Structure 1
């Protein structure tokens, strides 16, 4: 009987101590992807970049520097300073203007006119600041695919 009471008392103590710890503050590597790429009349692109915060705390996304490759063709480097805070385990989209290299323009035009998928990669860094911490640089290497948007000329998602 005394042994059983000791075990119950010990279990209750452990449970109370665990409850005192508060929520876990986990910083995870963020992600980035192209949500939409729109070709403008002058040949430039409007890139809707989706930034995903997988951390359990808010993060402020300060800058992005990502080399874009479309269908194995180098398009150039997408740079920007979104300066937005994204809540825990959430995402947001920022719009960035981009002037691609000529050969990449042709790859996108081909995908749009042929109504077929366009593979792309993003490789580079995202600078983000976790809440109440110092800024950190996160390396990204993303491979994904865009498809023409039905009814929306010049756009891939």
Structure 2
């Protein structure tokens, strides 16, 4: 009986060791998660156009190459225009980067932003569209973006919302 117990214990120990070794060899799990896009800063230029600092966030555990951005920007209830670019930007896993795009906004959106700046009020905005990115060693994918947030006037920086 003692011999059977020792044999069973050795089998259990060998199985546990094999499982532990297999877990060590698996390395980091590569996970692809949808990226996010948000407006980090909106600056109204003297000519009435906007410089939009667009933050691209990679939530994947591996680097992703951002190939194409096509997002409709809405401020308040007014469509401002489309932020479209091919950034050719690589962003590391669980990291972010910012690209700046110029936009000639629609007149209604221009008024909404001017009103928010004049009254020092919070500006609600939305981004809707797609971001195409290629995860490391994988095929390009298109991700839907539908986000909402707000911007506030940057203290001491006229015409700047963050």
TM-score category, normalised to shorter length: over 0.9
Q: Secondary structure at the match of 2:73?
A: strand
Deviations 1:99-144 (A, max 9, x none): 1100000000011110010000000000111111121110000000
Deviations 1:46-67 (A, max 9, x none): 0000000000110011111101
Partners of 1:143 and 1:56 in 2: CA distance: 24
Partners of 1:105 and 1:99 in 2: CA distance: 9
In the alignment, which residue of structure 2 is the partner of 1:63? 68
In the alignment, which residue of structure 2 is the partner of 1:126? 131
**Cα RMSD over matched residues?**
0.8
Deviations 1:66-123 (A, max 9, x none): 0111011111111111111000000000011111100000000011110010000000
In the alignment, which residue of structure 2 is the partner of 1:34? 39
Aligned counterpart in structure 2 of residue 105 of structure 1, from 92, 107, 110:
110
Q: What TM-score, normalized by structure 2, do the two folds share? A: 0.94
Q: Which runs of 5+ in 1 are unaligned?
A: none
- Greater displacement, 125-134 / 41-50: 125-134
Partners of 1:133 and 1:6 in 2: CA distance: 40
- Greater displacement, 18-27 / 98-107: 18-27
**Structure of larger gyration radius:** 2
Q: Which runs of 5+ in 2 are unaligned?
A: 1-5
Q: Secondary structure at the match of 2:68?
A: strand
Aligned counterpart in structure 1 of residue 78 of structure 2, from 73, 79, 84:
73
Q: What TM-score, normalized by structure 1, do the two folds share? A: 0.97
